[in-house]
Amino acid sequence: MIKINGLHKRFGDLEVLKGIDLEIDQGKVVVVIGPSGSGKTTLLRCLNILEVPSAGSISIDGQTIDFSKPVPKKEVDLIRRKSAMVFQHYNLFPHMTALQNVMEGPMIVQQKSKEEARQKATQLLTKVGLGDKLDYYPHQLSGGQQQRVGIARALALEPKVMLFDEPTSALDPELVGEVLQVMKDLAGTGITMVVVTHEMRFANDVASEVIFMDQGKIVERSQPSEMFTNPKEERTRQFLNLIQ
Ligand code: ADP
């Protein structure tokens, strides 16, 4: 489903991704962990082309872009539609209700009719447990509820790949569980997911694989049981010791 080759990303003189190679099969849930500043968010943003890689190639669901050449906007749009992102700070439109937030993408990006978009948004919001909050504005919802709207909004774009960038980091501890449960349910549907998170229990319970990144590189990649009990690399061990 995802194939990344030799991916580099620079911000001016700062090289944030230093040659990432990664393949992810359809239906896998890959959790990315690593210290702050190691490039986890940048990797996710490159997959959705919110950041344009400096070099390398990305292929998602058969759509490939080689960033060593100039990239036509049309190709960027095509690959971007393969994935949808859930952000740490939800990024909902404050002046729109939950329903309108979820309808917006299908109407603008996919040119769906208002009625079709409404039906779909209602169905998705019900699926994330917000069927009774369709007409609430973001400020009337808890952080956990806002993030569930964020997940419904991403799903409305019918992506092949769901990208989660620390989706529970901004939440009060008692609201984390409801968002992780929605993500867990989603993982069970067979959609491919890439999740940057510090929730090691989620990683342990749900991930097919865990990737440890440090300083712009993938240091180690393994199944969660292996990563958490028997990490191979010293840097991974140090990181896990610090957070556990
Ligand atoms: P992580 O998600 O692992 O914490 P990030 O991908 O957010 O790491 O950031 C990696 C590095 O890239 C950091 O040093 C950060 O300051 C830098 N960085 C991220 N985005 C930008 C940007 N738009 N401009 C300049 N530097 C950036």
Reported as a single tens digit per residue, the pLDDT across 103-113 is: 999 999 889 99
* Distance of CA 37 from the midpoint of ligand 1 (Å): 6
Q: Please indicate whether residue 243 or residue 44 has the higher confidence score (pLDDT).
A: 44
Query: What's the gap in Å between 42 CA and the centre of ligand 1?
Result: 6
For residue range 135-145, list pLDDT tens digits in order.
999 999 999 99
| Summary mean pLDDT of the chain | 96
Nearest CA to ligand 1 atom 21: 11
What burial class does residue 188 get, using C-beta atoms within 10 Å of its C-beta: 0-12 exposed, 13-18 middle, 19+ buried? exposed
Residue 16 CB less than 6 A away from ligand 1: yes
Average pLDDT over residues 150-179: 96
| Percent of the residues in the chain that have a pLDDT greater than 90, as a whole number | 95
pTM of the model: 0.96
Which residue lies with its CA nearest to atom 22 of ligand 1? Answer: 11
> Quick count: other Cβ atoms within 10 Å of Cβ 96?
15
What local confidence, expressed as pLDDT, does residue 75 receive?
A: 92
User: Is the per-residue pLDDT at 164 higher than 80?
Assistant: yes
Confidence (pLDDT) at 152: 98
pLDDT single digits (tens) 60-101: 999 999 999 888 899 999 999 999 999 999 999 999 999 999
Q: Which two tokens stand for residue 23?
A: 């393949």
The pLDDT assigned to 243 comes to 84
Ligand 1 atom nearest to CA at 36: 4
Q: 136 alpha carbon to ligand 1 midpoint, in Å?
A: 34
For residue 186, the model assigns a pLDDT of 96
- Ligand 1 atom closest to Cα of residue 35: 3
Phi then psi for residue 192, to 5 deg, are: -80, 135
Q: Does residue 38's CB lie within 6 angstroms of at least one atom of ligand 1?
A: yes
**Whether residue 105 has its Cβ less than 6 Å from ligand 1:** no
Would the pLDDT of 10 be above 80?
yes
Most ligand 1 atoms within 8 A of CB, residue of 42, 47, 52, 89 to mutate: 42
Kindly tell me if the per-residue pLDDT of 244 is higher than 80.
no
Instruction: Please write the tens of the pLDDT for every residue from 174-231.
Output: 999 999 999 999 999 999 999 999 999 999 999 999 999 999 999 999 999 999 999 9
- Ligand 1 atom nearest the C-alpha of 12 is 25
Span from the CA of 12 to the centroid of ligand 1 (angstroms) = 12
